[in-house]
Amino acid sequence: MFKRAALTGIIALSVLSCYAPQRDCARFREGNFKFTTTIDGVAATTTFFRNDTMEIDRFQGKIDTSSVRWINDCEYIVKKINPKNASEEKSVHIKILSTTDTSYTFEYNLVGQSKKSRGTAHKTN
């Protein structure tokens, strides 16, 4: 009985360890996107357009333009072009963790800080 349970456990671990999430990051390098997050208990949506070198965000009626520098196919750095204060001067590192046909899940943090957050962006075009 114990041998059978151990064998089943080993097979299950082997199968699960082979699973790798889909990462077709190149499909999300450019386009129109929407990202919704919760801020102080309220859902807030950002829409943005990104091409290879620039990102234009619309959030709460404001438009911001940022430069985009790709590190590799799945990671990039975003830096506001015209920051209005010291906190906006900080760059944001974004890493795409997994993709679907119409969305990608990503992890992001301010460059130099260890606290990371996650989100999902949906391609709208």
Q: List the domains of the chain with CATH numbers.
A: 22-123 (2.40.128)
Give pLDDT tens digits for 66-104: 999 999 999 999 999 999 898 889 999 999 999 999 999
Would you say how long the chain is, in residues? 125
Residues 91, 110: contact at Cβ < 8 Å?
Answer: yes
Which of the 8 DSSP states describes residue 74? T
When pLDDT is averaged across residues 31-50 and rounded to a whole number, the result is 92
pLDDT at 14 over 80: no
Going by pLDDT thresholds of 50, 70 and 90, the confidence category of residue 30 is very high
pLDDT for 11: 57
When pLDDT is averaged across residues 93-116 and rounded to a whole number, the result is 94
Residues 64, 57: contact at Cβ < 8 Å?
Answer: yes
